Amino acid sequence: GTAGYAASPRLVEYIVSLTNNLSRKLNQVLPDAYHLATEEQTNKLAVCLGDGSYYDKHIDNLGGSSDAGDQRKLTALIYLQPPNSHDGQPPYPNEKVEDDPRGGYFRAYDVPEVGDVTCIAPRGDRLVVFWSDSLVHDVSPSFAPSEDDKRFALTTWLVADKKTGEIKGTDLEVSARHFDSGENSIGKG
């Protein structure tokens, strides 16, 4: 509404400041090839309304192969719904999509081992961070019976430093295992 709209520019400033500082802190501990730009990132707010909406299996950034030279390196996803959303599930890492009719789960493939699928419930205040250029993932269909069960996810992509950061190309074995006979999946994130 109108009242929330007035606060939006301040929220954007806060996110930019937070992600710039996060990049600086991470660069202190990461090897050069993983260095992140400190003045550039991109954000997206995704809302799954519970009508079966989902995200297909993909890698956010397939080796910077887009015409624009996609430099997304690290994805940070925070769920914004109420903290008690998706209660009743066992604690991570024992969460199971099939045990929860609400869906909307983040599913990471080949984690922790090849062939494994790790499911993460979209609980409010939960932060999920992963390498944008290597993690195969999807979001299971979302069926929200109430407002509290809708999936609100703010995604921030930290990008590789243009001088030292590198974007990993997609491994052919990973591509063959997950994307139709080795064809690349478009980064949908």
Confidence of residue 103 (pLDDT cuts 50, 70, 90): confident
- When pLDDT is averaged across residues 102-109 and rounded to a whole number, the result is 92
pLDDT value at residue 6:
63
Percent of the chain topping pLDDT 70: 85
What confidence tens digit (pLDDT) does each residue in 120-165 have?
988 888 899 999 999 999 999 998 887 777 888 989 999 999 888 8
Give residue 111's pLDDT. Answer: 92
Q: In three state form, how does the secondary structure of the chain look?
A: CHHHHHHHHHHHHHHHHHHHHHHHHHHCCCCHHHCEEEEEEEEEEEEECCCCEEEEEECCCCCCCCCCCCCEEEEEEEECCCCCCCCCCCCCCCCCHHHCCCECCEEEECCCCCCCEEEECCCCCCEEEEECCCCCEEEEEECCCCHHHCEEEEEEEEEECCCCCCCCCCCHHHHHHHCCCCCCCCCCC
